[in-house]
Amino acid sequence: MLVIIAALPFMVALILLAVLRWSGRDAGLLTLIVAMLLGTLVPAFAAGLSLSQQATRIGVALGTGAGSALVVLGVLLPGILLFHLEERSGGITALARGLERLSPNPHLRLLILVLGFAPFVESVSGFGVCVIVTVPIALAMGFDPLRAAIIGLLTQIAVPWGALGVGTAIGAQLTHVPLGLLGGQTAIMIAPLPTIFGLVALGISAGWHAIARWWAAAALAGGVMAGMLWWLSQAIGVELAGVLSSSCVLLTLTIWARIAARGQMKTNISPPPPGELPPGPDQPVWRALLPYLVLTGLLLISRLVGPLRDWLQQHVILSIPAFDLQLPVLYTPGFWVLVAVLVAIPSLGMPWQGAGVTPTTRDALARGWRQFVPSGLAITAFLMAAAVMERIGLTGVLGDAAAQLGNAFGVITPALGAFGGWLTGSVAGGNAMFAVLQQTASRHTGLASTAIIGAQNGSAGYGSVASPARIVLAATTAKSPGGEGALLRAVGPWMLVAIAIITVMLLVVH
């Protein structure tokens, strides 16, 4: 009975989003309220504390959740502003036209977007930035808002390596598993998924016909991604494995596209017509790419140049010990996304005018802020709910119940990891919740610890893809506020398939 009670906030969020079709903001707030009420009214979770002590405990949890949200919101706000600047200046259309030049075939362009370009963006930025970048491109390629949002979520095939592998690094630090080994184990667990997600994207684009025609390209690109992630994580390091692997996929698919185009010319086969791109200012591709190139370059420099990295981590620290918040502002991805925004304003032809900005720039920034507010509230509410659940012991009850399964624990390891990733919206959060518990349970049951932690890491990444925070982000970026429920119903089953595949891989490896 206690396990069912502990799972109530999770079930409430799922029902409100998927069945009742509530907005992410409202669902998040009610989930938070349910978690706080359980911590106050259920004796097993109230732990005999007085009302003032309970209020203090919940207050600390809320502050901890808000601190976690600060990292995500720090990326979300400048990321949304960057999107609107790109959109208003014609930059998104220019990027879509750039992909069009890589291949005359829209299905290959989609594979390039899903398996190459988007994982690259995810690897250098993380925290859902690739959704903000790829959903508008999918819209510009001719997809309706729902399908564009689905595609944006499916592009997150390298989440454990996102933000230069910070979530995986947290898992390695908590469990004392070597970082390279954990990255390699994770790559094994998710090996079939890049190919599968590529095929799903093709199916969304044009049904079985596209899958039958381009399955080999998807299989090759997915195999390159999985194989390079496994090798590079151990040979060079998790930090650069995602960046370099996605670059290899981009090169592979570009070569495939060139060969396919020549074959079509020799056989006089015309490629399918591309999607209609929206009208907008004529913007050269290099200008549209410049903010993202600057973002990528600065992130890599800030992570790879040791003295600079140490300096950034030690200066301008936002520290609130009571909430376990220690945030190096200049080192966070959000700071560098903000720099990209400042680069975008002049580079996209929207310069500052004295003390003000041009009307176009002002309009783009205002639209970005209006889009950010409901999404920010939803993300903050869900992360606060996760923190409250952990603080009052709900997640501990669920984890302990799972550990009682003995050797069968391996079957639910991916589900537990996915739950943590789903609830917190990140690999880092999922690992923080369950990585140590998974390792302890694996030792008690005699299961291979490194394989268990690899499955935990991979499933947390794929669980976060369908998390309320990412669902809200995708729906908002697709300009479909209130469409979170439809998006969850569309993407949720594929996340369950991903977790089932990770489970099979774990059982095979173990």
Alpha helices in 305-408 (DSSP H): 306-314, 333-347, 359-392, 394-403
Centre a 10 Å sphere on the Cβ of residue 78 and count the other Cβ atoms it contains: 26
pLDDT tens track for 168-191: 887 887 788 898 999 999 999 999
- CA–CA distance, 141 with 106 (Å, rounded to integer): 8
**For residue 500, what pLDDT band results from cuts at 50, 70 and 90?**
very high
pLDDT of residue 274: 43
Q: What residues contact 133, with CB distance under 8 A and at least 6 apart?
A: 79, 83, 118, 121, 292
- Given CA atoms 375, 171, 449, 386 in this order, what sign does their dihedral have? negative
pLDDT of residue 403: 67
**For residue 241, what pLDDT band results from cuts at 50, 70 and 90?**
confident
User: In the chain, where are the structural domains located?
Assistant: 2-509
**pLDDT higher than 70, residue 280:** no
- CA–CA distance, 384 with 392 (Å, rounded to integer): 12
pLDDT of residue 458: 95
Residue 417: closest CA among 407, 428, 408: 428
Element (H, E) at 147: helix 145-154
- Under a CB-based contact definition with an 8 Å cutoff, are residues 347 and 353 in contact? no
**pLDDT higher than 70, residue 276:** no
- CA–CA distance, 139 with 7 (Å, rounded to integer): 37
Q: What residues contact 189, with CB distance under 8 A and at least 6 apart?
A: 414, 451, 454, 455, 457, 458, 459, 502, 505, 506, 509
**Mean pLDDT, range 25-52, rounded to an integer:** 85
276: left (phi over 0), alpha (psi -120 to 50) or beta: beta
**pLDDT higher than 80, residue 398:** no
Read off the pTM: 0.73
pLDDT of residue 488: 87
**pLDDT higher than 50, residue 313:** yes
As a whole number, the mean pLDDT across the chain is: 82
Alpha helices in 157-192 (DSSP H): 162-175, 179-189
Helix (H, G, I), strand (E, B) or coil at 327: strand
**pLDDT higher than 70, residue 88:** yes
Decide which of 335 and 132 is more confident.
335
- CA–CA distance, 86 with 80 (Å, rounded to integer): 10
Residue 132: closest CA among 172, 160, 92, 167: 92
- Given CA atoms 8, 13, 18, 21 in this order, what sign does their dihedral have? positive
Query: For residue 156, what are its two tokens?
Result: 């997150």
Highest mean pLDDT among 50-54, 215-219, 387-391, 441-445: 215-219
- Under a CB-based contact definition with an 8 Å cutoff, are residues 381 and 28 in contact? yes
Percent with pLDDT over 70 in the chain: 89
pLDDT of residue 510: 66
Nearest-5° Cα angle at 134, 364 to 363: 5
Q: Token pair 């690899």 is at which residue?
A: 454
